[in-house]
Amino acid sequence: MIKEVSVIGGGSWATAIVKMLTNNAEMTHWWMRDADKANYINKYLHNPRYLSSVQFERDKIKVSNDLTEVISKSKHIVIATPSAFLMDVFGERDNRDLAEKVIFSAVKGIVPEVHQIPAEFFHKRFKTPYDHIGIISGPCHAEEVALERLSYLTLACQNQDHAASMAELLECRYIKTHLSDDLFGTELSAVLKNIYAIASGIFHGLGYGDNFQAVLISNAVQEIERFVDELNPIHRDVKSSAYLGDLLVTAYSQFSRNRTFGNMVGKGYSVMSAQMEMNMTAEGYYAAKSIVKINDKYNVHMPIATAVYRILYEKISPAVEMRILAEQLV
């Protein structure tokens, strides 16, 4: 059993990860950028901004805004920072900081500056071997973890011993875990599902109903399958919960920030005003641009992802673009 683990990030998903880890880990070292927030949590044992109902045990967590110190405390590092800020947090760090570490990414996005999924980013930036990199994926929302509702996680790593060790830390009365060796497919699917959740939200904001949403998501899972099979052609069943389940919960849930973001865009908000109103990161916004850029090389048929990109970055009218897209779905 892993005794100590370090968590990097201060938002709702980081808070949920810390909550799960403290069920079994002896100590969780938690980094967040804001020193005042770190001091607040150390004193009052809850995150004042995210999932504030979650109470932590004083002898189970240590919160700091010193990233070097937090990384040094554990061999196992969980990254729960939004992908848009990974370069800001890790871009200038010395390679030796993460030498010999086992990194699990709970990031559901893509690093926009380099158009890389987190596994590729940490491998190339810090020379971390792929068998020392894992993914924590869903289907799972942080809000339901806070409520201790039964939830499922997928732990994907080429080294199944690492995946099993992290799963043992996270599993508890209300968390079930599943192991996978599909590192790239799981992470790419987690990136793509946020784009499709934005599409789902845009259609909802435009007034489309459940009947159409079913067609949209059926086509979205086909796009996921085409894209991940082209980039990483191994045997996988995209109908399993790590792929289809994660897509469904993100596209339909009231807790989905990507769906909420899309819904606001569909109702007429500008991208900037929707981001400001939410005051949270919608990973799919950054992913849409990166996926289209990556797909320039592979030419996979991805009409939904392309439509979302055109709305968000080319400022095409959501009503016009989604009407065109609706004619392409079957």
Quote the CA–CA distance of 189 and 197 in Å, as a whole number: 12
Beta-strand relationship, 133-137 and 4-8:
unpaired
Ordered by where they begin, the domains of the chain are 4-181 (3.40.50.720), 185-326 (1.10.1040.10)
- Average pLDDT for residues 149-177, to the nearest whole number? 97
Which 8-state DSSP code applies to residue 81?
A: S
Confidence class for position 97, pLDDT limits 50, 70, 90: confident
Tokens encoding 132:
């020392």
Query: What pLDDT was estimated at residue 110?
Result: 93
Query: What pLDDT was estimated at residue 165?
Result: 97
Contact of 175 with 188, CB cutoff 8 Å: no
DSSP3 helix / strand / coil % (the chain, rounded to 5): 55, 15, 35
Question: Is 67 buried (19+), middle (13-18) or exposed (0-12) by CB count in 10 A?
Answer: middle
Query: What pLDDT was estimated at residue 317?
Result: 97
Residue 167 has pLDDT above 90, yes or no: yes
Strand (E) or helix (H) holding 134: strand 133-137
Contact of 199 with 262, CB cutoff 8 Å: yes
